[in-house]
Every structure is written in C-alpha cells, then in structure tokens.
Structure 1
Amino acid sequence: MTTNPDSGPDLRPRPTEGSVAGTTVLVTGSDGFIGSHTVERLVADGARVKAFCLYNSNGSLGWLDQSEVFAQALRDGQAEVVLGDIRDPEHVAASIEGVDVVLHLAALIAIPFSYVAPRSYVETNVIGTLNVLEAVRRHGTPRLVNTSTSEVYGTPEEVPITEHHPLRGQSPYSATKISADKLCESYALSFETPVVTLRPFNTFGPRQSARAVIPTVLSQLLAGADQVRLGDLTPKRDFTYVTDTADGFVRAALCDVAPGTTIQLGTGRTVSIGEVVELCRTVTGSTAEIVTEEARIRPEGSEVQILLSDPTRAHEVLGWAPTVSLEEGLARTAEWLRPRVDPETAARYHR
C-alpha cells in the first residue's frame, strides 16, 4: 500500500462478503447522524431493522422522521421502532433479545459539551455500553459492533495512526469512549463476547449536527455571511463521508474476526481546518473572511492536533475503502444543506 498524506492511500473496496439480507439487526442511535444512514443501508441490503431511538414525549425518530427509505420499510414490515434509553438496562436487554446483530451507535458525542456536563457522558457512553454488553452476553447475540472514535488517540505520538496506538483521553468525551472500548475488550477477553470495535475517524455528510466543523462552515457560507466564525484553524483531521462509514458498519456486521478486534475507518488523508474552509469556499463560491471566536477554542491541553488513519486493517479484514472524496462529499453536503440553512441561526455556536 502507498500512502500520500494529501491524496490518501491507493485502495479500492472489495465486494462485501456475505449479506445481512434476512437477518434482524438492532441499531442503537438509529435516530442520529450515522445511525440513520446505517439504517437506510441495512434496509437497502435486505435486513430487518429494529431502530432503537431515544424516547421522547413527541415520539420523534430524529433523522429517521425525514427518511422515506425508512418510512417505506415500516410500511413493508421490514423495520420497527423501539423507543427507549440506552441507560436503562432492562429495556435494552428486552430490545436486544432475539436479534442477530447489534450495531451500537448510541452516544453523546459533542466534545465541548463534555466539558460542561461530563457525568451525562459517563452515563450514556460508559453505562449505556455496559448495558448493551450485558444484554448481548445474556442472550447470546452472535455479533455486536461497538462504535469508537478517533478522538481516543488524543494528539498521536506518530502518524499515520494504527489500531495499536496508545489511547489518551484529552477530553471527558474521549475518556468515556476509551472506557467503553475497554469494556468491550474486557468482555471479549473475559466472556468471549463476539464484539468488534469500529473506530471511525471524522465522519461528515448530510444530517450532521451543526456543532461539527463542516456543517458549521457550510451553513455560514450558504447563509451569505461576510464573516465565518470559527475556532482554531490549525488542527488536522481525516474526514470520511457518511455513506462510506455506514458501509463499514455493514461489513463489520458480517466479518469473521476474533472477539475484541478493533478496526479503524479512515481515508488515510489529513487536512487542516483552514484547508477545509478553503474547500468549502470553493464549493459555495463564497469569499467570506474567517474570524476566530474565543468561545470556540478548546482548552489547550484538550485539542487534538492531528488525526490521520492507517486504513490497512479495514481494507485487509473488511475489504473496506472510502469511495467518496472529501471534495465530492463537501459538494453533496452543501447541496443537502442549501435549502435547510437558516440565516438567523447559521452563525450560532453549538456546544
């Protein structure tokens, strides 16, 4: 494999080995960004989906409320909704009983808010994952895919980062994800729980929260702003388009690997936030200037300076490789955002 930090590795995805068609897959966090795209992919591949969404009094299904693919699957009996809370062990266990695969994506993810409310991250990301592990263990579920994050590495000792790199919690959020990953590792070693940990790098695309950098930039530019308010422009990230990430989850559900295996999903290309801004300007045709806003800058010791994946294991084990470039993904995301941008709120800071 050859790796170029600017263009990424020269890899091609292989056909998926096996199929989820006819299997029952429970997806926690189905109402979220990656979860909703993964649900749509599973439906397209013929799986029967149990969409575990966060209970709320309005009965909202988050992004699935806007998915015609999911609506049709409900009408056809190919999908069902389970409203609940990942922090409730009894309901989680009852929901998982009888399924073939659990894709565990439910999590609190915003790093800035984890500085404000760290306990909520422990309860959702750590205790929630424990509840899923216990349910899978109790029912003998054949496969669990745990969702990690590249943030668990902190600022790396070397790049590209492999799965063997040490873990470092530079934010309360990343600390809770490290804890969840280690719980999965311990259950694999102690009980042979058939869990695979998938570690996506920075996923982006339609439906992503406005608190993330790419929708933050694109929303302000599409709203016609003369100035774009951002934090530090120097950190570098490895961005993966959301449909490629969803493809990784389907492949992880099917792969034959030892319990406790960790697999990264990243492109092997890193770009600075400043470079992302320039690409977003190109996509939108904007000439807005960048203004640094103090509230958006993370504590110095908490900011991860660079993330760059080594996608070798994902390619060798899953046959996975990204198919959508950063440039193409930004164009698709801008097109999706364009009719949804509210000029009154586009510059608002979301923790």
Structure 2
Amino acid sequence: MQILVTGGAGFIGGHLAEQFVSDGHDVVVLDTLEPFYDVGLKQRNIEAGETAAKNGTGQYNFVEGSVTDSDLVTDLVSETDCIFHQAAQAGVRTSVENPGKTTRINIDGTFTVLEAARKAGVRRFVNASSSSVYGKPEYLPYDEDHPTTPISPYGASKVAAEHYARVYNEVYGLPTVSLRYFTVYGPRMRPNMAFTNFVSRCLHGESPVIFGDGTQTRDFTYVNDIVDANRRLLETSVADGEVLNIGSGERITITELATVIRDEIDPEIDIVYDDPREGDAEHTHSDVSKARKLLGYEPSVSIEAGAKQFVEWYRRNKDWYDPLVRNS
C-alpha cells in the first residue's frame, strides 16, 4: 500500500512511518524539518524509517516540504492510497505566542491535504487531533460528545481541522477519521515536554520543576498505543467521518508523575514548583470505549510502566538524546 505520512519526521509521525515500512508498505514522509526543536532528533526519525526499509520489504522516501504547498501536496497525494496527517504546528504555548502560524499550518495545511485527497480519491484520510480540543472539563473522563471549548489557539485549530475532515466525509464522501491523542510520550519524543524535562533534570542530579501546584492531571499515552490505533485504520473501513479518543484511559497527577520518574532515578532529589503556564489544561482523561468498540483498540501500557520504560530508553540513548549532553 502507498502511504503518505505528513509530519513524518516528527515524534508520532516518525513512529508511524517506521512501523508502516516495517509492515511492508511503501511510505512517503513529508516534513518541513522546522527547528521547533532540535532537527537532529527529526533526522533520527528519518534514519529509523530508512533502517526499517533496509531491513524489510517496504520502501521509505523522505520529501522536505510543507503541507501548505498545494502543488507539492497534490503531486505526492496523486500516488497515495492512505494519508496519515500528522503535520502541525505543535505546542499550546507556541500557539498563544504566535496564533497566526498555528492557524496557517494546522487549518490551512489540513485543508490543502484534504482537498488533494478528495481530488485523488484517497482510500483513507486519518487526521491527528488532540485532547486540547476539550478545554475545561465539564465532566471526566472525556467522551467524544463532551463540548469542545479549547482554551488555546492550538486547541481551536485542531477543532477546525476535525470539522473540515468531517465535512469532507459528509459532503464529498472522502473516508476520513480524526484521532484525538492524549499527551503522547515515548522514545524520540519532543525534548521540551514534562516527561523529558523530569528525566533529564533527575539524571543530572537536578530537581524536576512542576509548573503549577502539581495537582493537574494528565492522561499520558505511550506512543506504541498511538501507532496501534493508526494501524487498525488500515485494516477496516469503519469509523468514516468519526472522531475517536486515543488515550491510556488512565490519569496521573503531575506530582505523581514527577515522583515516579524521580524515584526511578534518585529518590533523594527534591521536587520543586514554579508558576503555572498559560494555556495548559488542568485535567485530561480519556474515555476510549468508542475506539474500543469500532477499532478493537486497547491501551497496553500503563502510565507508571510507560514512565519506567521511557527512563530506561532515555538512559540507553542519553548521549544523542539528552539536550544537556548534546549542547555541552
């Protein structure tokens, strides 16, 4: 099968591309390699895809470019069976600082890819959305019927992208589905996230810093579970036009997370607190029963187990992954 992964040099997209190639599919990755974080980490994702191609039957091809480039996208999509649209300007705080850029990439870019997919008659369009669409919870866990009242331009852009995907299914018959990811973590994740900050600081004997009082809760999802949900959409035609939560179905306070990581590395390190950051949701918690029913999705990694696995991976790859080591 011919697969296009937009944003495929990023964290989630990189894992998807690597897995699809390992499964024997031919994959094209489109990514701008924007230095939102160290481009060297994106190069590692590209290398993982290339290695998968060398070791298997699938092909891997990287194309540098933007999802807002209509001509380029149209050309790539013309040879594509399925699109996994992961490309986005990530970051809640980044969107607060530069909402225009977030809008161009996350909304205009999604429209560009959808329109190309419609004209090419693509068999499946999977849109990466986010739990940020929910905003302040009226109840927990979030099910897909919960109101979407985002509190950041990033969340608003993801709501808009979901609606475009749904409309393209209803009006044009394009088989689309949006997956609402809940805080994804794991090997090769972005280095400016809570997980990486906590691990890096503890490994260097420094206190993990929590922004806020630490009672905020998150539903953290191990990247392997995200990959599993996406793979299932290659095997079924269900869920056209739908939105599905993809999370762990659990939640943990930020203080509890920092404690699990700290205790795994050095229980003697103190945990410190700083002022909360603008735009961050207080709580996230997924109800994944819809994805379970439609896709057979079942989260396989608990947050505590995943945190320990990530610490082990981090230690093994510290020389190239740890920002303090890379920049020393």
TM-score relative to the length of structure 2: 0.90
**Alignment partner of 1:231 is 2:211:** yes
Spell out, residue by residue over 1:243-262, the C-alpha distance to the aligned partner (whole angstroms, 9 max, x if none). Answer: 11111111123322253111
- 1:166 match: 147
Instruction: Describe how 1:223-302 pairs up with structure 2 within 5 A.
Output: 223-225=204-206, 227-232=207-212, 233-294=214-275, 297-299=276-278, 302=279
Q: Post-superposition shift, 1:344?
A: 6.9
Which AA in structure 1 matches 2:314?
A: L
Whether contact under 8 Å (1:149, 1:199) holds in the other structure is yes
Residue 64 of structure 2, aligned match among 83, 86, 91: 83
Deviating 4+ runs (over 6 angstroms): none
**Alignment partner of 1:202 is 2:180:** no
Instruction: Describe how 1:149-188 pairs up with structure 2 within 5 A.
Output: 149-188=130-169
- 2:284 match: 307
Name the CA distance, whole Å, in 2 between partners of 1:341 and 1:286: 20
Spell out, residue by residue over 1:183-212, the C-alpha distance to the aligned partner (whole angstroms, 9 max, x if none). Answer: 111211221211011111111111111221
Which AA in structure 1 matches 2:290?
A: R
Name the CA distance, whole Å, in 2 between partners of 1:152 and 1:161: 11
SS at match of 1:224: coil
Structure 2: give runs of 5+ residues left out of the alignment: none
Q: CA RMSD in A?
A: 2.1
Name the CA distance, whole Å, in 1 between partners of 2:101 and 2:178: 22
- 1:70 match: 50
- 1:32 match: 10
Whether contact under 8 Å (1:126, 1:177) holds in the other structure is yes
SS at match of 1:320: coil
Residue 23 of structure 2, aligned match among 36, 45, 50: 45
**Alignment partner of 1:145 is 2:137:** no
Whether contact under 8 Å (2:141, 2:287) holds in the other structure is yes
Q: Report the number of matched residues.
A: 317
Whether contact under 8 Å (2:136, 2:150) holds in the other structure is no
Whether contact under 8 Å (1:25, 1:101) holds in the other structure is yes
Residue 110 of structure 2, aligned match among 96, 116, 129: 129
The alignment-based identity, stated in percent, is 32
Q: Post-superposition shift, 1:55?
A: 5.4
Whether contact under 8 Å (1:223, 1:341) holds in the other structure is no
TM-score relative to the length of structure 1: 0.85
Q: Post-superposition shift, 1:343?
A: 4.0
SS at match of 1:292: strand
Whether contact under 8 Å (2:14, 2:46) holds in the other structure is no
Distance 1:90 1:206, change over 3 A: same
Structure 1: give runs of 5+ residues left out of the alignment: 1-22, 347-351
Spell out, residue by residue over 1:109-164, the C-alpha distance to the aligned partner (whole angstroms, 9 max, x if none). Answer: 11111111111100110001001100000100011000000110012111111111
Distance 1:177 1:277, change over 3 A: same
Name the CA distance, whole Å, in 2 between partners of 1:135 and 1:72: 28
Name the CA distance, whole Å, in 1 between partners of 2:311 and 2:140: 30
